[in-house]
Amino acid sequence: MKQIFLALLFSVIGFFIASLFFSVPHAILVALLVLLVTLWTNEGLPIGVVSLLPIILFPSFGILTTNQTVSNYSNSIIFLFLGGFMIAIATQKTELHKYIANKLLNIFPSTTRGIIFSLAVTSAFLSSLISNTTTALLLIPIVMFLTEEISLKLRFVLAIAYGASIGGIVTPIGTPPNLILLGFLEQHEIATIPFVNWIFLTAPLAIIMLIVMPFILSIGANNITLREDLAEKLTLTKEQKRLSFLLLGLIILLFVNSRIEPFYSGLGLNEKGILLGFGLLMFVPKIGFLQWEDTKKIPYEIIFLFGAGFSIAMAFTVSGLAEEIASNLLALTSLPLILLIILVAALVTFTTEVTSNTALISIALPIIFSLGEAAKIDIQLILLVATICASYAFMLPIATPPNAIAMSSGAVKVKDMAKYGFVFNLLGILFVTLVALVYWQFVI
């Protein structure tokens, strides 16, 4: 009850502060957002329960109708992620992730630096396929047993957590903010970024971060051999081989389906249908691996969180609050493109540290959309910068699920995460800005 009382108190305070700058309806929306974000943050209520509150709150205060709010919980992007969850559960059930991790871990040298690189790359690779949250949950318990040395445990756990966040941006299903961006683009009838095109856009940035991050984490680490502590040699089972072929087929279909302008127009199939179709294929006898009981493992609270995020984004747009905030930032639109990108990247990165990246990006996208329109710059470019930076917040546990999971391991203290995270935040802002200016600006 204490957490709920604090959330209500902060909400009231937020209303009075917001009323000094905005109209009463907009101040009410700010107050409701403070309530939701606080409850998400302090876990006064389960995350799924908090995520369903907009269905009651927004109509009650005249911000959105019930039908408008509820429609966000069936956004087509959600079904893309639902299919991804089904594939992830099949991967875990067959333990294919262990085989993939084992192969990747053995690519690098058996030194401490090699281990840190292998853990980061393994985490990044898996998180691009089965979500960064799932990857961190699977790998962090394993690396806790690689060594008894506290300082090495810290570096190994951070390598997994940061690698998961870095790799999560590589595919649309890697982390929730990616899907929120796609849903936002769809809501505003802006051309979405196809699955494979997304990979081509984000992979160079992830590769740069995966070179720099493990190198910095390994500075000063004791150079000892740990190869004997790694996973035993594994061979693929029949089920794992079958799932591997299905995943390969999915990847090939996504590549063939994606348009590469102006050279290839793709097959024109809906990517949400493809992902959901392969997810449902996991239940077909003698082909798939799942029973209906396995759906209990689907994190429905995350699906509700998506719905809440889309509802918040719609509320900001429909109420006009995003436009009002953007109008207050109009002075920034005269800045050179490089400074505007740095400002957006820094603002999103460091603001994410004090709230969930999913909640933050839901609030930020409508504002940045209005700002981008006023500045007359490519909307996809500035929204992609904000979305990636929401995942590249490394300082505090609350910012991203992998950070929170790393903290829960007991091997990481807040001061240690903040020390390394501050450096990686700055590097993330720098590299996102460079990639946006040198690469994204010309290919989006």
* pLDDT tens digits for range 80-127: 778 878 887 888 788 887 777 677 667 767 788 888 998 999 899 888
The answer to the question of residue 40 being in a domain is no
Residues ≥6 apart with Cβ < 8 Å to 149: 222
What pLDDT, on the 0 to 100 scale, is given for residue 8? Answer: 92
What pLDDT, on the 0 to 100 scale, is given for residue 145? Answer: 66
The answer to the question of residue 157 being in a domain is yes
Domain count, the chain: 1
What pLDDT, on the 0 to 100 scale, is given for residue 227? Answer: 42
What pLDDT, on the 0 to 100 scale, is given for residue 257? Answer: 77
Q: How far apart are CA 155 and CA 161, in angstroms?
A: 10
Instruction: Kindly give the parts of the chain with pLDDT less than 70.
Output: 101, 104-105, 108, 141, 145-146, 223-234, 258-265, 354-355
The answer to the question of residue 23 being in a domain is no
The answer to the question of residue 100 being in a domain is yes
The answer to the question of residue 15 being in a domain is no
What pLDDT, on the 0 to 100 scale, is given for residue 172? Answer: 87
Q: How far apart are CA 119 and CA 103, in angstroms?
A: 11
The answer to the question of residue 13 being in a domain is no
What pLDDT, on the 0 to 100 scale, is given for residue 224? Answer: 58
Nearest to 320 by CA among 7, 5, 29: 29
Q: Which domain holds residue 327?
A: 46-442
Cβ atoms within 10 Å, residue 267: 11
The answer to the question of residue 12 being in a domain is no
Mean pLDDT of the chain: 85
What pLDDT, on the 0 to 100 scale, is given for residue 229? Answer: 40
Residues ≥6 apart with Cβ < 8 Å to 34: 7, 10, 11, 13, 14, 15
What pLDDT, on the 0 to 100 scale, is given for residue 231? Answer: 47
The answer to the question of residue 17 being in a domain is no
Q: What is the pTM of this model?
A: 0.73
What pLDDT, on the 0 to 100 scale, is given for residue 262? Answer: 53
For 221-247, how does the pLDDT look when each residue is reduced to its tens digit (9 = 90+)?
776 554 444 445 667 889 999 998 998
